[in-house]
Amino acid sequence: REEAMAAAAAEEKEFGIVSVALGDGLAEIFGELGIDKIVDGGQTNNPSVNAFLDAFRSVNAEHIVVLPNNSNIIFTANQAAELYKEAPVHVIPTRSVMEGYGALSMANPEYDTVQELLDDMTMGTEDVRTAYVTTAIRDTYMDGVEVKKGQYIGLDGKHLVVAGDEKLPTAEA
């Protein structure tokens, strides 16, 4: 069984997908969705150009598609794509894990051209809205919302929309 798996991995496929994800849970979910290689990284852990290059080298494909999944990582992914010469690398500028998931939901390995794959994966990101709940690290006033240090804050993309003392009501708002 191990030999068969190694032989299958050695065969070059047409499209390979590299995605950034932070944590074992996300890596497992993305792996189940067909990601060939996970680059460890996320909101506070931006991977290096070398981390991307190492990931590209481990993917045996004619074309490599990259999902950075964070706006701070898109630039680095593009730099690595320019430096990599063994195969064309295509960066879909996903700004969140959910955009990456949306892109993956549209991926089909049966496409005739890489452009068809890229078009559909990009379309899978267009209607995704990402909301976050986190904890305020300081007092502030932003987007018309007053925030006290330690409160939960809700963001829609990059816009602060609510602050509250309890997590669930903040998330619902």
**What is the 3-state secondary structure of the chain?**
CHHHHHHHHHCCEEEEEEEEECCHHHHHHHHHCCCCEEEECECCECCCHHHHHHHHHHCCEEEEEEECCCCCCHHHHHHHHHHCCCCCEEECCCCCHHHHHHHHHCCCCCCCCHHHHHHHHHHHHHCCCCEEEEECCCCEEECCEEECCCCEEEEECCEEEEEECCHHHHHHC
Residue 88 is predicted with a pLDDT of 97
How many C-beta neighbours within 10 Å does residue 115 have?
11
Residue 86 is predicted with a pLDDT of 95
Determine the straight-line distance between the first and last CA of the chain, rounded to whole angstroms.
Answer: 51
Residue 10 is predicted with a pLDDT of 61
Residue 42 is predicted with a pLDDT of 73
* Average pLDDT, consecutive stretches of 10 residues, N- to C-terminus, the chain (173 residues): 57 89 88 90 86 96 95 95 97 93 86 89 88 91 94 89 95 91
Calculate the CA 153 to chain-centre distance: 23
Residue 32 is predicted with a pLDDT of 86
Residue 94 is predicted with a pLDDT of 95
Residue 170 is predicted with a pLDDT of 94
